Structure 1
Amino acid sequence: MKLDEAIMKRASVRYFKDDPVSDEEIRALIEAAIRAPTASGLENWLFVVFKSEEVRKEIYDLIGEGMVEYYRAVNLPEEKIKKLMKRIYEEGMYRAPAYIAVFIDRRVRFLKGREFDEVEFIWSVESAAMAIQNLMLKAVELGLGTVYIGVTNFRGIEEKVRELAGLDENYYLVGLIPVGRPRDEVKPRRRKKGVEEVTRIL
């Protein structure tokens, strides 16, 4: 598969088959991820794979908590939130045979001094985000689906994901990625804006 094809075929997959994702496939995803650019060559990322049934259930419930918080943040009525959550649980949205949590170790840095705390953090998050994109494109090549989960970053939820991963507060969760074989046909959406609208050449 050519890179252009993988880019164009990549889409957010929210429903997965129960088929397991093999350790070899997980390794291939992470091998692709760590080929991403990394600020100052630090490679201060960590990929925690949740595959056991018990821990996946806990991760799934945390995604549910995050979705409720998100819906409340956009001022959806509680009654509508209940209906949406019932549908999510009944239809198995985001329930996957594997979840990959991507963390950064905030202690690993290049520039010393508190005045560089913010920029070092931004660089680390950017590095992890590029690794996630590599992982997602590799997943397309392998016939796997992925979706970026951001709601697990809400306060109180992020800490619980860290605890499940056995990590302390020095680690920061950049993203949680469900991985599995798509249940339905993957149909990438067209972008709302074209190249001309988002490009400025000076």
Structure 2
Amino acid sequence: VGGEGGGRDLVRPAADDMFRLGTSEAVREAVTQRRTVREFTDEPVDPAAVRRAVAAAVTAPAPHHTTPWRFVLVESQAARVALLDAMREAWVTDLRADGKSEESIAKRVRRGDVLRNAPCLVVPCMVMDGSHTYGDARRDAAEREMFVVATGAGVQNFLVALAGERLGSAWVSSTMFCRDVVREVLR
């Protein structure tokens, strides 16, 4: 009180601020608060929060200084419906080929409706840009596995960051079973 200086003098440099990232308990809580949501509210999602979550996602470790992931935000309702309809059709085709009954197929396909009611749809994709080719099956398979693991780490970062934003999420792996359909619909 009554001294010289301003507010800037009261701000600690980041290196000296023991609480700039919160407590270790808060960080652990963000990780453990991540849950799979099976029903979303109709509250709008702040696009900036999703972008912050993507920014956190891409800090995951990756091989060879690459970025083996892309996070595709499917913004238009028409694109979302087209993607989800095409994925459903591919899934039904696979289930019929497996000999599943129409009743069983309808039950399984209904589980994917969580995506139709989500206020935001983000599709994580793995890309092999920057991967190495060794010329033998064992090492080439290990290279791909490294990229798969890195992409999984990116997805986990994304989901935890959404939890830190107090947003629910549901990771549904359906896109992995119909990659060609997803590529075609999303171009």
2:179 to 158, 165, 186: 158
List aligned pairs for 1:66-77, cutoff 5 A: 68=92, 76-77=100-101
* 1:22 to partner: Cα distance: 2.7
Shift of 1:84: 5.2
What residue number does 1:29 align with? 53
Q: Could you tell me whether the CA contact under 8 Å between 1:56 and 1:98 is conserved in 2?
A: no
Contact 2:73 2:123 survives alignment (8 Å)? yes
Distance 1:61 1:117 in 2: 34
SS in 2 for 1:102: strand
Q: Is residue 53–residue 161 contact of structure 2 (8 Å, CA) maintained in 1?
A: yes
Matched residue type, 1:124: F
Indicate conservation of the 8 Å contact 2:66/2:130, yes or no. Answer: yes
Quote the offset at 1:70 in angstroms. Answer: 7.1
Helix, strand or coil: the match of 1:46? strand
- Greater C-alpha Rg: 2
Helix, strand or coil for the counterpart of 1:128?
helix
CA distance in 2, matches of 1:13, 1:74: 28
Distance apart, 1:45 and its partner CA: 1.7
Query: Aligned-pair distance for 1:135?
Result: 0.6
Give 1:82's match in structure 2, choosing from 75, 83, 106.
106
Distance 1:64 1:162 in 2: 15
Matches within 5 A, 1:88-167: 88=111, 92-95=113-116, 96-109=118-131, 111-115=132-136, 116-154=139-177, 157-166=178-187
Say if 1:51 and 1:97, in contact at 8 Å, map to a contact too.
no
Distance 1:65 1:17 in 2: 26
Q: Show CA shifts across 1:13-42 (max 9, x none).
A: 122223332321121011110111112221
The one-letter amino acid of 2:147's match is: S
Moved more, 38-47 or 67-76: 67-76
Is structure 2 residue 42 aligned with structure 1 residue 18? yes
Identity of aligned residues (%): 28
The Cα of 1:6 is off from its aligned counterpart by 1.9
Whole-Å Cα distance in 2 between the matches of residues 151 and 126 of structure 1? Answer: 18
Judged with a 3 Å threshold, the aligned counterparts in structure 2 of structure 1 residues 88 and 151 are, in CA distance, closer, same or farther, namely closer
Which segments of 5 or more consecutive residues in structure 1 lack a partner in the other structure?
A: 167-202
Q: What's the offset of the Cα at 1:7? A: 2.2
Gaps of 5+ in 2: 1-21
* Distance of 2:175 and 2:146 partners within structure 1: 21
> What amino acid sits opposite 2:66 in the alignment?
L
Residue 74 of structure 2 is matched in structure 1 by 50
Runs of 4+ in 1 over 4 A off after TM superposition: 69-76
Q: Aligned residue pairs: how many?
A: 160
Q: Deviations over 1:143-199 (max 9, x none)?
A: 211122122222xx2112112332xxxxxxxxxxxxxxxxxxxxxxxxxxxxxxxxx
**Displacement after TM superposition at 1:113 (Å):** 2.5
Query: Which of the two has greater strand per residue?
Result: 1
